Structure 1
């Protein structure tokens, strides 16, 4: 595996550096850059800006936007938008801090919007 570039803000153009060949993953729907392993999925029961979202333990090949306090369905959170390093498309957000104690479990995790992802299963069919 190549080295990863996890959630680092940068004004310079980044490049896709992490791949997970042979592992089920989620990729950017616009440029197909790998964004996360399916094993990193915590929950599918979240809401993004444009529909359903996945709470993920980690993400790769992404960069973070500016931190801001945002009123979400579960209260105020300090978040930063997450962008694909391959095409700069917005994929969701990163939870820096939660104001409510019951929401602290989200801190340090990613909300990736389902509509902005492609599920890559990497299935191999047996040929007979």
Structure 2
């Protein structure tokens, strides 16, 4: 069996553009409209849409949808602001929906 070279990655499900590193996962316990989602501390090759307030499961947040910079596929959202003190840790982090990303280099 060959050794894997390089970090484990997540890529866009549509065009396979690299969007995140496995090591940047903060939590795998997030829920999106279409199933599970992962909270990442960083993401790459994404475009951030306009900010808007949304009432989510954990309360009111200012969020912006995030899209693959290559193909434009909507991948999740970025937390811009959390209004409740217990949710402040999410600010600046990105949620990517599990069904919108694929594992690479595993």
Common fold: TM-score over 0.5: yes
Offset at residue 114 of structure 1 (A) = 0.2
Quote the Cα distance in structure 1 between the aligned partners of 2:100 and 2:6: 21
Q: Deviations over 1:16-58 (max 9, x none)?
A: xxxxx82211000000000001000011000112111000000
Q: Does 1:86 align with 2:59?
A: no
Equivalent position of 1:103 in the other structure? 87
TM-score, length-scaled by structure 1 = 0.77
The answer for unaligned runs of 5 or more in structure 2 is none
Measured in 2, the distance between the counterparts of 1:104 and 1:46 equals 15
Output aligned runs, 1:41-56, within 5 Å.
41-56=25-40
Runs of 4+ residues over 6 Å off in structure 1: none
Aligned to 1:115, the other structure's residue is in SS state helix
Q: Which has the larger radius of gyration?
A: 1
- Bigger strand fraction: 2
Distance across 1 between alignment mates of 2:12 and 2:81:
25
2:55 pairs with 1:58: no
2:52 counterpart residue number: 68
